[in-house]
Amino acid sequence: MTIQVIVLNGGSSSGKSEITRCLQAVLPHPWLALGVDTLVEAMPASLRTSGEGIEFAADGGVAVGPEFRTLEAAWMAGVAAMARAGARIIIDDVFLGGAASQRRWRMSLGGVDVLWVGVRCARAVAANRELARGDRIRGMAESQAEMVHQGVTYDLEVDTTRTPSSECARTIAARLRALP
């Protein structure tokens, strides 16, 4: 088994992006980092504030519409095509739909070897990180902390509540090395 894709799923401010940077530093081959934030930033501004695209509520809630789902499906297919073409990819995602989100990725990544990693963080810690960042809507981290893991199956879970991102990345890298 040659893992081509590592999917990191966790709530906002759980530490996924930092783990991704650490993984890129410790893994022996080049890995591309792609995240749902990349998709959202690539969308026209009009889709980042509408019911057709993605809406961020004042309380931190996130709602996605049909245009978002259409573009997300195309993006997922493109990421999967890159993996099939030989790129190693770390996906930083927030499974707002829990198991349904994982199913969409599984369909897109069919035939690609994937390591599914849950990135957990205590609600209060994630909320404090969110405040310190200053670039997130307050309440997003707390509302997503558990919801994104509902019904999701992982090969490995890490918890950044008290474990540094670098150690979490080393744990993930060790799992990759241990695979046949």
Instruction: Single out the residue of 92, 75, 87 nearest to residue 20, CA to CA.
Output: 92
Name residues whose C-beta falls within 8 Å of residue 178's C-beta, 6 or more positions apart in sequence: none
Q: What pLDDT, in 10s, does the model give residues 71-128?
A: 999 999 999 999 999 999 999 999 999 999 999 999 999 999 999 999 999 999 998 8
Distance CA 102, CA 108 (A): 10
Tokens of 158: 């890490």
Residue 4 predicted with pLDDT over 70: yes
Q: Which residues of 43-58 are buried (b: 16+ CB within 10 A; e: fewer)?
A: beeebeeeeebbbeee
Write down the pLDDT at residue 134: 66
Most confident of 54-58, 129-133, 165-169: 165-169
Mean pLDDT is highest, among 48-52, 55-59, 123-127, 140-144, for: 123-127
Of the listed 37, 59, 93, 113, which one is catalytic? 37
In angstroms, the CA 137 to CA 40 distance is 15
The Cα-based distances of 73 to 63, 107, 150, 173, 177 in angstroms read 16, 10, 21, 28, 31
141 pLDDT band, cuts 50/70/90, is: confident
Residue 59 a catalytic site member: no
**Tokens 């198991």 sit on residue:** 99
